[in-house]
Structure formats: C-alpha cells, structure tokens
C-alpha cells in the first residue's frame, strides 16, 4: 500500500506551484515488473508521494531523483498503456505521455509448494518456502474469496485425511483439520455466497457436511447431516456406503446450491444454508455417462447448463437441467488422445478437475494423462492447450508453452484469474499466472 502526502508535505524538490513535466520513458515495451525509467521535471524525491499509472493500474515507484524515476510495470494493465504521473493527493497536477507503452502479456508457471517428494507432511503453521509433501494431491482443490488455497492430502495408510490452507499473501501453509480413518475422502468446494470452504464426503452414504469458518480462524464447523428428499442410489444393494462414489461438488451461482454427480449416474443437489438435499436422478440414472467425475462447472452464461468431465470416457458432457438432456460436449467418447480444435474434434486423456473464468467465458481442464492444462473458449467452442507440454511429463517452471506437469489433477481459479494446480506425481502445488 502506497501512502500519499498532501501538497507541500515534505516532498523535497517538488514545487506545487509549478507543473510536472514529462520528457521520455524507456523501455517502450515489456511484461510485468519491467523496470521503466521516466525522465522529466518536478517529480520530487519522495517515491511514496508519486502516483504512476499504466492505464488504470498503479505502478510501484522504486526511487526518484526529482527529474528521473524508476517504476515497475504493473500486472495486466492492458496491451497499449497510457502512462500518467501525479504527486500527492491532488489529481489536478496529473500529466500523461502521448506515446504508449506496449505491455507484453505472458503466461508463466511457478511452484507454490512441493516439487519433490518429502519425508513428512507439514505440521501446524509453517512457511510455504521449503514445504514438501510425502503424499500426492489426489483430489480436487478449492480457493476461497480471499484467494486462500485449500488442499486435502492422505497422511497415513489407514485412510486418515488432512486439510491444509495455503496463503501466498501470508507465505504460509496451515493445518486446518484431520479427518478420521473411517472416512475414505473429503471433498472441498467454495460457497459463492459466504466465501466459506465447505467439505463433504466421497461416500454416497455419508451425509455429514461442514465448512471452515474464516471468522473463527478457519476452524472446522460441522453443519450436520444432509436431509435427502429421497434416498440416493446405492450400487451394492444393501444400502451400505459406496466408497468414493463422489469425486467433486460445486455451487450453482443461480440457486446457491451444491451439485454433484456420482460414478453410478446419480445427480443431486443440496442447500448449505438449510441442509436440505434433492435427488435429481432420472429413472435411467444417466447410464450412458456413468464413470468417475471430478470436473464439474456451470456455464457462466446459462446456469441451467452443467459441464462434467468423465475421466474414463475421456470427454466432457453437457447437462441441460431444464431440458433433462445429457450429451457429449467436448472430446470424443472413449477416445483418449491430445488434439486441439473444435469441441467435437478435440481429444482429452483422463480429464480431471475443471474451473471457469466467468469474465473471460472460458473453462480450464486439468488434462491429467496429457500432462497439461486445456482451455475451452465458450464464445467459439475451441479447445486449446493453455499450459504444459502435451503428452510429455516432467517438472519444469517458466513460460506456459514449455512448462511441464506430471498428471495434474486439481484445478482452481483465483479472483485475479490465476490458476492453482494440484500436480499429483510432482507432489506439488503449481500456479499458472497470466501476467
């Protein structure tokens, strides 16, 4: 946060009775954090009193000599930038360059934590720097309204699970809760209304749910049991819990209810505010689309449309809730491969978690066995490779086109449009940022 000084408030060399003059800036082009030198007159020497903008994005001012200042290009200000300068709180002294700065947009992959298999799991609250994991991220991940990342790991061979919260802003990783050995898995998803992160079971017979409460320092709150209007379908005939039937759940932005699909063709929704659940499964239980489903998103243009990724079918289905129809939407059913192109021609290989950027109207897919992140543009129905080297596993950070993943599974998006990735076989949490 930059502090602003009032006019004449000790900014040495600055004359409020004289105008600011701009002469030149260099370089003329560059990506985020490019060091730009601005020359002119009457800047003053107090860098904290200077306001420099690239379009509407504020730049960090590193230093000023009065006629020369050093600033850093901010993140995503626009491809053609007007640079403007003012001093203090008086916007009347603002001046602008006529020449434009050409901002270079780049997509980079970095590591938040992990990157090699550790010998133990982090305990308590520790630094993200040097944090390694002895278990793989093997389930979906979630991001809250403050861009904190929530990840579930298995921490022993007895089925015990632990949920962590990672904060890049604070630079730490924190243990939130250990779930007992009778639970085969905990799923995580954000509540779009409250911003809380809810948890639910992978077992279709376990009805308990809860959330991590930021007001109470992210303490685990058990909200009770879901009260279903009619029983969900069980595969083994004796109404015992079905292990790992549910791989994900997500909230619909229209009705603020959580939805999930099971590997046996069940579809259901429940209201986190009331705990009331509705079994929406038709008589045929969506037999044609049965299978493990970790990817699940709503169309940002139409909340009646749900897209879900079937891992074993290597494709993404479209479910029209209003019409009650399900059809293959992207990829070719039962055809594994990697191919960019129109929806019906594209190919995936074991697609896992998905997330949606509602502003850009795109869907991102963790294409696990292709070791990359795919992007689906809703405007034209085109599938492209967003990050990673298709069909080539590895562990490489850097430009998205040359980076490498090893079976990415988890995928979540921040408020800034960055992607967090649960990179399973690299025992890592990675980030893809458009900068």
List, for the chain, all residue ranges whose pLDDT scores fall below the cut of 70.
Answer: 1-10, 157-158, 181-184, 234-241
CB contact at 8 A, 343 and 381: yes
**pTM attached to this predicted model:** 0.86
Domain 107-434 has CATH 2.120.10.30: yes
| pLDDT tens digits for range 188-197 | 999 999 889 9
CB contact at 8 A, 255 and 298: no
Longest dimension (CA), the chain: 86
| Fold entry, domain 21-103 | Immunoglobulin-like (2.60.40)
Query: In a 3-state reduction of DSSP, which class is residue 323?
Result: coil
27 preceded by a cis bond (ω within 30 of 0): yes
Domain with CATH 2.60.40.10 in the chain: 21-103
pLDDT score, position 4: 38
- Burial label, 309 (beta-carbon count in 10 A; 0-12, 13-18, 19+): buried
Domain with CATH 2.120.10.30 in the chain: 107-434
pLDDT score, position 91: 77
- Burial label, 237 (beta-carbon count in 10 A; 0-12, 13-18, 19+): exposed
pLDDT score, position 2: 35
Which segments of 168-205 are extended strands (E)?
Answer: 172-179, 186-190, 197-201
């Amino acid at each position: 946060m930059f502090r602003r000084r009032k006019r004449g408030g000790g900014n040495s060399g600055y004359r409020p009775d004289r105008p600011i003059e701009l002469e030149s800036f260099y370089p003329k082009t560059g990506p985020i954090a490019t060091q730009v030198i601005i020359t002119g007159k009457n800047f003053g020497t107090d860098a904290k009193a200077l306001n420099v903008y690239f379009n509407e994005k504020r730049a960090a001012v590193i230093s000023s000599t009065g006629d020369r200042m050093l600033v850093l290009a901010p993140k995503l200000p626009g491809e053609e930038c007007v640079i403007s300068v003012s001093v203090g709180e008086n916007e009347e002294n603002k001046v602008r360059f006529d020449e434009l700065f050409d901002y270079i947009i780049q997509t980079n992959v970095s590591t938040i934590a992990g990157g090699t298999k550790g010998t133990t799991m982090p305990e308590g609250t520790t630094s993200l720097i040097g944090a390694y994991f002895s278990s793989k991220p093997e389930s979906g991940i979630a991001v809250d309204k403050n861009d904190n990342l929530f990840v579930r790991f298995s921490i022993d061979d007895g089925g015990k699970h632990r949920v962590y919260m990672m904060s890049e802003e604070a630079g730490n990783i924190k243990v939130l809760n250990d779930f007992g050995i009778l639970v085969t898995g905990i799923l995580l998803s954000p509540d779009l209304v409250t911003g809380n992160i809810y948890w639910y079971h992978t077992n279709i017979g376990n009805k308990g749910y809860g959330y991590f409460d930021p007001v109470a320092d992210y303490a685990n709150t058990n909200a009770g049991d879901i009260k279903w209007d009619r029983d969900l379908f069980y595969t083994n005939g004796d109404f015992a819990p079905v292990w790992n039937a549910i791989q994900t759940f997500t909230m619909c932005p229209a009705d603020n209810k959580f939805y999930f699909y099971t590997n046996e063709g069940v579809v259901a929704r429940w209201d986190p505010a009331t705990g009331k659940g509705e079994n929406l499964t038709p008589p045929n239980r969506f037999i044609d689309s049965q299978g493990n489903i970790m990817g699940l998103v709503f169309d940002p243009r139409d909340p009646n449309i749900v897209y879900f990724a079937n891992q074993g079918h290597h494709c993404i289905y479209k479910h029209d809730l209003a019409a009650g129809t399900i059809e293959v939407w992207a990829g070719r059913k039962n055809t594994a491969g990697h191919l960019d192109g129109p929806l019906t021609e594209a190919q995936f290989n074991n697609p896992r978690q998905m997330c949606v950027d509602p502003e850009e109207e795109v869907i991102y897919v963790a294409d696990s066995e292709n070791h990359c992140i795919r992007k689906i543009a809703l405007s034209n129905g085109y599938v492209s490779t967003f990050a990673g080297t298709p069909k080539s596993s590895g562990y490489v950070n850097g430009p998205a086109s040359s980076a490498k993943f090893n079976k990415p599974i988890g995928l979540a998006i921040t408020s800034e449009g960055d992607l967090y990735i649960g990179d399973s076989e690299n025992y890592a949490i990675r980030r893809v940022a458009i900068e």
